[in-house]
């Protein structure tokens, strides 16, 4: 009996796509390769799913043509996902709906009509001249808001990606008419910035009366400044902008540590006592970028005692701690407090001494030492970033256990499967598990937290003289913030997720070994 090789679906796929590229599309024109490809009944739909969501738009279009030629019920889950995918082109969604309506008689025809309306709107935009007249914009705006609400985001994403003058002109027309839509527009505009898009962000800031909208624009400006863009304060709103940080003489000393394996960071800073020239207040805190302030204490101490204390910490080779400013320690402390509904009582009592209202940093301190342009100029690869995960200084870069615990059982099932599978198949299943888990785990908040951890790890490494590692860490942080595609496409994030799952698995297994046996042995 002839056995099918594992690479045959892939080679058949390549041949079929090449035929479609040549203009062939009907089932007859794609034979006999099409029948051979479909014969992999349990494999080809999953194969197409992986190919489609990792492809560029040109290849995605050809895969849609291929699926139209197949028109088999096994494609239904993939077609439904394409329709549900938030930021896919409307044309792909409509094609998927047309195929699905043919193979699934229970498909909701109403959705097909709604997608048709959205696609018709896009055709109208594309058929218009390079710029719109005022009356044209008004008519188009009215037509846009007739589109089903959850499809509007796909339309806006497509318009922003196309980046033509008329697309951006239309987006300028619809801002400030729907606060929820404004938030979506802000997020999409900052992903692939240009002077024209920044101008729209400034218009949103000026026109909107919603505090949440203004804050969202400010956050976008912050991100764009980190990327090297010059952002002018919107006219007439200068008082609303946060003041630019200007370094001044520190009032005390400051120190911070690398993140420990649990993701905790030690902050130590001082404040001179007015009543005596020999004493100071030593503030010590343990912060966590997921949880906030885990411990806080303040004690009056002599300068000599503090000097001995900090000297002992600095010479400890097993505990990396570096000098910074006391103001930066206060900034990190305030940032951690904002993550909590009820910060520690000791911290709240000390707020009058900390005078945090005067402390503002426009961006983490590492960007004063290593610029965005310098990182981009280095051209670090993701492979280099992944190697960081095996370095002791990065042990604290983990994902919160409660976000990934449910995947432990699934990994254990794969490893202890009673079905006889080889090591290659087992690893492929684990890879697929990580692939699927990434979509749920790496939401915008998790990615922002990971970015902050990497920025602070980079700062500590830089101050410790480990500049190359610091640059690599900062490169990974910037790549996380610039990722506009699906999170599972980022190899660094996938490897980090796998590392975090295996770490928790190891902790659980170690605890089981430590538990005393209840079986009595005479």
Sign of CA dihedral 260, 262, 263, 266: negative
pLDDT tens, the chain, 522 aa long: 444 444 588 888 889 999 898 888 888 888 888 888 888 877 888 888 888 888 888 888 899 899 888 888 888 888 888 888 877 788 888 888 888 888 887 877 888 888 888 888 888 777 776 666 666 667 777 777 888 877 877 887 877 776 566 677 777 777 777 888 888 888 777 777 777 778 888 888 888 778 888 888 887 787 777 666 777 655 544 444 444 444 444 468 999 999 999 999 999 999 887 655 678 899 999 999 999 999 999 998 999 999 999 999 998 888 899 999 999 999 999 999 999 989 998 898 888 878 766 777 878 999 999 988 888 888 888 888 888 888 899 999 988 888 888 887 788 777 776 665 677 777 778 888 888 888 888 888 889 999 999 999 999 999 999 999 999 999 999 988 775 444 444 688 888 888 888 888 888 777 777 665 444 444
| Residue 255: strand, helix, or coil | strand
Q: How much is the pLDDT for 308?
A: 93
Residues 396 and 259: beta-carbon distance below 8 Å: yes
Contact partners, residue 186, CB within 8 Å, separation at least 6: 201, 204, 213, 216, 217, 220
SS3 label, residue 309: helix
What is the four-CA torsion angle of 288, 289, 292, 295, rounded to 10 degrees? Answer: 20
CB 213 within 8 A of CB 186: yes
Q: Give the tokens for residue 115.
A: 């997608």
Q: Quick one: tokens of 159?
A: 């318009």
DSSP reduced 3-state for 280:
strand
pLDDT at 415: 73
Report the pLDDT value the prediction gives residue 249, as an integer from 0 to 100. Answer: 41
């Amino acid at each position: 009996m002839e056995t099918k090789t594992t690479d045959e679906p892939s080679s058949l796929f390549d041949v079929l796509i090449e035929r479609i590229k040549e203009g062939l599309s009907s089932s007859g024109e794609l034979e006999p390769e099409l029948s051979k490809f479909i014969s992999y009944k349990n494999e080809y739909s999953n194969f197409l799913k992986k190919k489609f969501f990792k492809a560029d738009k040109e290849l995605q279009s050809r895969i849609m043509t291929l699926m139209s030629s197949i028109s088999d019920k096994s494609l239904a889950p993939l077609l439904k996902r394409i329709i549900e995918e938030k930021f896919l082109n409307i044309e792909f969604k409509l094609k998927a709906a047309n195929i699905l309506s043919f193979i699934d008689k229970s498909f909701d025809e109403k959705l097909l009509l709604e997608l048709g309306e959205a696609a018709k709107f896009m055709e109208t935009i594309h058929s218009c001249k390079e710029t719109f007249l005022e009356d044209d914009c008004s008519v188009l705006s009215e037509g846009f808001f007739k589109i089903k609400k959850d499809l509007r985001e796909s339309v806006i994403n497509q318009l922003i990606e196309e980046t033509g003058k008329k697309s951006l002109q239309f987006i300028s027309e619809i801002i400030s008419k729907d606060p929820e839509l404004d938030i979506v527009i802000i997020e999409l505009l900052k992903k692939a910035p240009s002077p024209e898009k920044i101008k729209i962000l400034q218009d949103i800031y000026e026109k909107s009366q919603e505090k949440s909208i203004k804050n969202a624009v400010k956050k976008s400006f912050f991100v764009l400044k980190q990327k090297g863009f010059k952002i002018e304060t919107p006219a007439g709103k200068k008082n609303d902008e946060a003041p630019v940080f200007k370094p001044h003489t520190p009032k005390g000393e400051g120190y911070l540590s690398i993140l420990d394996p649990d993701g905790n960071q030690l902050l130590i800073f001082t404040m001179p006592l007015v009543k005596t020239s020999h004493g100071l207040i030593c503030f010590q805190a343990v912060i966590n970028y997921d949880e906030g302030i885990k411990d806080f204490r303040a004690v009056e101490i002599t300068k000599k005692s503090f000097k001995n204390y900090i000297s002992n910490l600095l010479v400890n080779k097993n505990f990396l701690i570096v000098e910074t400013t006391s103001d930066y320690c206060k900034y990190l402390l305030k940032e951690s407090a904002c993550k909590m509904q009820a910060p520690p009582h000791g911290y709240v009592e000390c707020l009058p001494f900390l005078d945090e209202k005067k402390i503002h940093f426009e961006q983490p301190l590492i960007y004063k030492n290593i610029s965005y342009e310098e990182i981009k100029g280095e051209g670090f690869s993701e492979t280099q970033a992944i190697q960081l995960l095996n370095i002791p200084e990065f042990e604290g870069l983990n994902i919160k256990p409660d976000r990934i615990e449910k995947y432990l059982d699934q990994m254990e099932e794969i490893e202890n499967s009673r079905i006889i599978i080889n090591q290659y198949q087992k690893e492929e299943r684990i890879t697929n598990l990580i692939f699927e888990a990434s979509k749920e785990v790496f939401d915008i908040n998790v990615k922002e937290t990971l970015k902050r951890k990497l920025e602070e790890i980079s700062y500590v490494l830089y101050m410790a003289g480990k500049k190359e590692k610091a640059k690599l860490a900062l490169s990974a942080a910037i790549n996380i913030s610039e990722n506009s595609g699906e999170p599972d496409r980022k190899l660094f994030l996938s490897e980090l997720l796998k590392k975090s799952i295996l770490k928790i698995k190891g902790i659980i297994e170690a605890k089981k070994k430590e538990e005393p046996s209840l079986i009595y042995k005479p």
